[in-house]
Each structure stands twice: as structure tokens, then as C-alpha cells.
């Protein structure tokens, strides 16, 4: 029996482990938190810091193949391990995605359209970037940003002063795209092929994903172009394993926003909404099994459950409704903006969700 090692024990690790078990594969995870969600379902686990070299080495020795479930694993940790152990996704997709400037430059170099952008390090380069890109514009830290953290929209010249405190770390200024919608695609690639999951529309609230609605609200031509360009991008970059790309759609234009070389929150709907899911195909890739092309079972809506919605989610679970799948990650501490679970509604559209379900959760 094969064993997958997972660096990180959050909900993504939990769902990788669950799908590993479906395919008869063992899973072990390493995480600094003794109560990490993935530990409850893993066959074994290691409580250790991500920079604990001896512990990571142990994880690799316990595993036939190793993957990561979060994107900020430092290169100085992963690169030496990649030389010694079987970590087939390697460090490159992480490296390319860990810095927003490098990430957008790489996307553009491989033919993807991005919002206009410029590096910003101080007041002078911020003012120069504003002159070049115009306002409104979005200022973001280059590294370690997530769920809208470390970002600020600049609407007028007076906002430049307010933005100066952000410049203690290297930043990027981006052209503001007044998009019609946001969308994402999740792909899994081995040496032979790339399979991709149906594109979902993503609705964020306070910078955090709230809903994924599948299929996405865009013309078939735009969705086909997004799939084709994303698969070509993954191939041309030489990435294997799993990759998610987030886009803005405006009219017929598709703008690359960001990517992540791990299972993606917007792909959770695939567990029940598709014939195979993002976690299962990642496990197939890791264990050298042939990939399977996913199909959408029915229109599907995924609702993220943050701390403030946990009681409502439990109430939905007790109703035992068909085609309504409540996932609670079992995090010991619930906080208002913390992702505590998700619910997948199979067989309903975005409009039906709004009518039947939206009022059950905090607005």
C-alpha cells in the first residue's frame, strides 16, 4: 500500500487524506498544530514546525511520495528535500506563485493577459506606478498575501498618503479591473495529459471566497478559451500535479489574477458536483495512476462556512436533505472569519441558491 506525505494538515490536507483512502492509499501529514484537522483522518502524523528539517525528513521517509497543501513552504526547506525524496510537483510552481510580481510576470511571459502591474518599493515608485497605470488601482504586498490581506484599493491621489504604511514590505500596484465576474479553474497534469474541472464563478465577501457557482456565468466561448489557455499554460510552464488559476472576466476579456499549486477552495464543489474530484485526481497523479477526466454531475453551488455560519451549517446538516453535503472541518477554535467548513448544493443554480438558501447564513 502506498503512502502520501502531506506538508500541512489543514482542511486541504484533510480532504486529500479522505480521497487517498477512497483509492486505497495511506496518508500522513505534518503540521505545527497538534489539533490540525487532517490528523483526524490521517494514518499517521507529525506535529512539528514547517522549518523543522529533521521532522520533514521523517515525513518524507514515511512516504512514497510527498505533496504540500499550502503555498508558503520556503524554498530553502523544500529544495533540498526535492533532491532526496519523491516530491514530483517540485518547488518551481511554488516559487513562481509565492511572489505576486514574479507570478504575474511569468503568466504574461506565457501568453496570459494580466491587469497592468508595476513593482512598488517606496513612495517614488508608487507615484510613478500610479502615473503609469492610473486610478483606481490595487496595492498588494508581493508575498504572503491571502484572502484579501495586505491589500488596498487606491481611488484618488489622497489615498497614496494612506497607502505609505504598507510600503514597509515590497509591493505591487495593479490596474483595477472592473470585472463582470471572477472565475477559477483547477487542473491536474501528469506527463501525458492535463485534466481540468469545470470553471466556477467565485463570489468573494471581505476578500474571502463565499460562493462558487458552477457552471460559471460566462459565454461558452470564454469558458472554452479559459480552459484551453490554462491547460497550455500549465504544460508550457512544465508544471505537474495540481494547479488552480483565478481569473477576472470582463466582457470577452480574461485576466489572470493568481495561481496556487495545491487543491483550491473553489474546487471543493468537485467532491460531490463532479464524477471525480480535485483531491482524488491529485492522489491519482501522486501515485502514478492514470488521470480521469471529470464531468459536472449537475449545476452546483458551494458555500463556504466561516465561524459566524457554523451553527446554521449544523442546522442544515440535521435536516438530512438530499444533494446537500455539509462538510465540517473539525477545527477546535471557531472564529468569525475562519473557514470552518463548506456546504455543497448539487442540482441548484446560483439563482435557486439565492432564493432557497442565502437567508439561512449571515449576510
Give the residues lining the site for ligand AMP (CB under 6 A): 115, 138, 145, 148, 151, 174, 176-177, 182, 204, 207, 246, 257-258
Question: To the nearest whole angstrom, how small is the minimum distance from the Cβ of residue 182 to ligand AMP?
Answer: 5
Asked whether the CA dihedral 318, 324, 325, 326 is positive or negative, the reply is negative
| CA separation for the pair 49, 34 (Å, rounded) | 11
Q: How far is the CB of 116 from ligand AMP (least distance, A)?
A: 9
Least distance to ligand AMP from the beta carbon of 178, Å?
A: 7
**Between residues 43 and 71, which has the closer beta carbon with respect to ligand AMP?**
71
Rank residues 233 and 285 by Cβ distance to ligand AMP and give the closer one: 233
Complex with ligand AMP: residue 247 or 325, whichever CB lies closer: 247
Q: How far apart (Å, rounded) are the C-alpha atoms in residues 219 and 213?
A: 15
103 versus 190: smaller Cβ distance to ligand AMP: 103
- Per DSSP, what are the bridge partners of residue 357? none
Q: To the nearest whole angstrom, how small is the minimum distance from the Cβ of residue 339 to ligand AMP?
A: 15
Residues 207-238: b if buried by 16+ CB within 10 A, e if exposed: ebbebbbbbbebeeebbeebbebbbebbeebe
Give me the sign of the Cα torsion angle 88, 146, 41, 345.
Answer: negative
Q: Is 23 exposed, middle or buried (0-12, 13-18, 19+ CB in 10 A)?
A: middle
CB of 324 to ligand AMP, least distance (A): 26
Q: Using alpha carbons, list the distances in angstroms from residue 216 to 19, 226, 265, 305, 353.
A: 25, 11, 15, 21, 14
Q: Which residue, 204 or 232, is less far from ligand AMP as judged by CB?
A: 204
Q: Of 258 and 281, which has the nearer Cβ to ligand AMP? A: 258
Q: How many whole angstroms separate alpha carbon 60 and alpha carbon 7?
A: 9
Nearest alpha-carbon partner for 184 in 198, 195, 170: 198
Nearer Cβ to ligand AMP (172/189): 172
**Min. distance of Cβ 87 from ligand AMP in angstroms?**
26
CB of 332 to ligand AMP, least distance (A): 27
Distance (Å) of CA 318 to CA 210, 271, 313, 314, 321: 22, 20, 9, 6, 8
Dist CA 123 CA 139 (whole Å): 12
Angle of helix 278-286 relative to helix 11-22, nearest 10 degrees? 70
What minimum distance in Å lies between the beta carbon of 166 and ligand AMP?
Answer: 14
Burial of 313 (0-12, 13-18, 19+ CB in 10 A): buried
Considering the complex, state which of residue 144 and residue 295 has its C-beta at the smaller distance from ligand AMP.
Answer: 144
Amino acid at each position: 500500500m502506498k503512502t502520501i506525505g502531506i506538508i500541512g494538515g489543514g482542511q486541504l490536507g484533510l480532504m486529500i487524506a479522505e480521497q487517498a483512502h477512497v483509492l486505497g492509499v495511506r496518508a500522513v501529514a505534518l503540521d505545527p498544530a497538534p489539533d490540525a484537522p487532517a490528523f483526524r483522518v490521517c494514518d499517521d502524523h507529525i506535529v512539528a514546525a514547517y522549518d523543522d528539517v529533521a521532522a520533514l525528513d521523517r515525513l518524507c521517509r514515511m512516504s512514497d511520495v510527498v505533496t504540500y497543501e499550502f503555498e508558503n513552504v520556503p524554498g530553502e526547506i523544500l529544495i533540498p528535500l526535492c533532491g532526496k525524496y519523491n516530491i514530483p510537483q517540485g518547488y518551481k510552481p511554488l516559487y513562481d506563485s509565492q511572489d505576486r510580481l514574479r507570478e504575474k510576470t511569468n503568466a504574461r511571459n506565457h501568453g496570459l493577459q494580466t491587469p497592468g502591474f508595476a513593482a512598488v518599493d517606496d513612495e517614488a515608485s508608487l507615484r510613478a506606478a500610479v502615473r503609469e497605470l492610473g486610478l483606481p488601482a490595487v496595492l498588494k504586498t508581493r508575498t504572503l498575501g491571502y484572502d484579501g490581506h495586505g491589500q488596498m484599493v487606491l481611488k484618488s491621489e489622497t489615498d497614496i498618503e494612506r497607502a505609505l504604511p504598507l510600503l514597509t514590505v515590497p509591493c505591487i500596484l495593479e490596474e483595477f479591473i472592473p470585472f463582470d465576474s471572477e472565475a477559477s479553474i483547477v487542473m491536474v497534469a501528469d506527463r501525458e495529459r492535463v485534466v481540468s474541472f469545470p470553471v466556477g464563478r467565485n463570489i468573494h465577501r471581505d476578500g474571502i471566497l463565499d460562493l462558487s457557482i458552477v457552471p460559471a456565468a460566462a459565454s461558452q466561448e470564454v469558458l472554452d478559451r479559459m480552459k484551453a489557455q490554462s491547460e497550455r499554460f500549465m504544460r508550457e510552464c512544465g508544471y505537474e500535479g495540481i494547479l488552480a488559476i483565478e481569473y477576472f472576466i470582463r466582457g470577452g476579456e480574461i485576466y489572470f489574477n493568481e495561481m496556487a499549486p495545491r487543491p483550491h477552495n473553489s474546487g471543493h464543489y468537485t467532491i460531490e458536483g463532479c464524477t471525480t474530484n480535485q483531491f482524488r485526481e491529485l492522489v491519482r497523479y501522486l501515485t502514478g495512476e492514470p488521470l480521469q477526466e471529470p464531468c459536472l454531475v449537475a449545476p452546483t453551488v458551494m458555500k463556504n462556512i466561516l465561524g459566524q455560519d457554523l451553527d446554521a451549517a449544523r442546522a442544515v446538516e440535521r435536516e438530512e436533505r438530499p444533494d446537500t453535503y455539509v462538510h465540517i472541518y473539525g477545527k477546535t477554535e471557531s472564529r468569525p472569519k475562519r473557514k470552518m467548513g463548506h456546504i455543497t448544493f448539487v442540482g441548484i443554480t446560483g439563482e435557486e441558491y439565492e432564493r432557497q438558501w442565502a437567508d439561512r447564513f449571515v449576510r
